[in-house]
Amino acid sequence: MSTVDEATAEVPSPSREALQHVIDIARRLAPDAEDGVSYGMPALRVAGKPYVAAAKHLSLFPLSPAAIDTVRDELAGHSLSKGTVRFTAEHPLPDDVVERIGPGSRRSPAGRPGRTASREDARPRSRLSPACRRPPGP
């Protein structure tokens, strides 16, 4: 049994079923997701980042905080923060929302599960031609 499965088994019903449903969707979208611990909570990790976790509340961590903004109107009644969507059994997440902001969606960092932007992609490019740039220091 995995870390996430063990933690999910300890969540009282009906929250357990709501959490398991989101985990099942995440595992379908990102079959290479790994069990791990993030912020002291058992979590399903995609590309090294937490995606679904449970502690005192059930949480979904879209791989890009901007993804929350794309579905914010559809999450009325849910507790939202910059990078977290909290849900309950009484207020479950709609499947289509989980799929649209989940791993493999166009809204995840690199558009596919298990893939993140490289440091090279994140660095600003120099506007100077290679001949005008300083050589790297010693």
Domain that holds residue 59: 3-109
Residue with the bigger pLDDT between 111 and 36: it is: 36
Q: What mean pLDDT, rounded, does the chain reach? A: 77
Q: With 60 as the cut, is the pLDDT of residue 111 above it?
A: no
What local confidence, expressed as pLDDT, does residue 73 receive?
92
pLDDT tens, position by position, 30-68: 899 898 888 778 888 888 888 887 777 888 888 788 889
In a domain, 103, yes or no: yes
In a domain, 86, yes or no: yes
Helices 15-29 and 3-10: angle between axes, nearest 10 degrees: 160
Read off the CATH number of the domain in which 91 is found. 3.90.1150.200
Taking residues 61-81, what's their average pLDDT? 89
For residues 99-121, one letter each, b for 16 or more C-beta atoms within 10 angstroms of the residue's C-beta and e for the rest, the string is bbbbbbbebbbbeebbebeeeee
